[in-house]
Amino acid sequence: MALRAQYTLINSEFNAFLFAPIGEEGNGMMLSVISALARLEIDPWEEAARLAALPKEIATTALNRLIDRLPRGLWVRSDVPEIAARLIELLPGGALAVEPGRVINPSRLKVNRSTIGWLLILALSTSLLFGMLGNRTSRPDNGAAASSAPSTTSPAVER
């Protein structure tokens, strides 16, 4: 079973966000978003998807709160809102730039019907092809039928 796109590391739309640095830790190492979320026992891809689905201001506030829960690095507390805003911009579409209470146009969420039609045609064609191949391999072999026919030779004569 293949992983959903947001969970594949190579092609994840969240990579820019997840692997971005939050800031330098006390030991001199850079702390990435993915490491920070893992330390907080939060699934990084689920959280990235959740934040990307929120309006930008709400996503920034939520990430700000998460960063505040981390042990303090070399960044100062007053920089956290700025860090969170910078990181939210790295999400696909920079999070939803929709004000709270504003309705998203439903036409943007419609599924392309021609794509569904082509997928149905492909599925039907594939099932027909496999059906024909299945019928072809289940036919009895003519050679096998001939070998099961009674023998017409006379029995051997004893001496």
Q: Smallest Cα–Cα separation from 81: which of 61, 108, 101?
A: 61
pTM, entire model: 0.54
Predicted pLDDT of residue 116: 62
Mean pLDDT per 10-residue interval, the chain, length 159 residues: 56 86 91 94 92 93 94 87 94 58 44 58 73 66 55 57
Q: Are 67 and 22 in contact (CB under 8 A)?
A: yes
14: tokens are: 């969240």
Q: Residue 99 has what pLDDT?
A: 45
pLDDT at 98: 45
Q: What is the pLDDT of residue 61?
A: 95
Task: State the pLDDT at residue 110.
Answer: 43
